[in-house]
Amino acid sequence: MTNTKPKGSVRKVAGDTVSPKARGLVAPGSLQEMTGSTDTDRAMVLLQETLLSLWSPKELSEEQLDQRQKAALAALKAIAPTDEFERMLAAQMVAAHSAAMDCFRRAMLEGATFDGRELNLKHAEKPMATYTRQMEALDKYGRKSGFCRKRWAPSPHLRPNSAGAASRAR
Q: What is the pLDDT of residues 22-51, one digit of tens each?
A: 556 776 667 777 788 888 888 888 888 888
> Rounded CA gap, 26 and 31, in Å?
7
Residue 129 has pLDDT above 90, yes or no: yes
> Rounded CA gap, 141 and 54, in Å?
26
Q: What is the mean pLDDT of residues 132-158?
A: 63
Contacts by 153-158, CB closer than 8 A, 24 or more apart = none
Comparing 27 with 78, the larger pLDDT belongs to 78
Q: Name the nearest CA neighbour of 65 among 116, 20, 136, 13.
A: 13
pLDDT at residue 8, rounded to an integer: 42
Q: What is the mean pLDDT of residues 53-78?
A: 87
- Cβ–Cβ under 8 Å, residues 149 and 143: yes
One-letter amino acid at 143 equals: R
Bridge pairing between strands 166-168 and 158-160: antiparallel
Most confident by average pLDDT, 5-9, 51-55, 146-150, 159-163: 51-55
> Rounded CA gap, 4 and 8, in Å?
12
Comparing 145 with 29, the larger pLDDT belongs to 29
Comparing 93 with 60, the larger pLDDT belongs to 93
* pLDDT confidence band for 163 (50 / 70 / 90): low
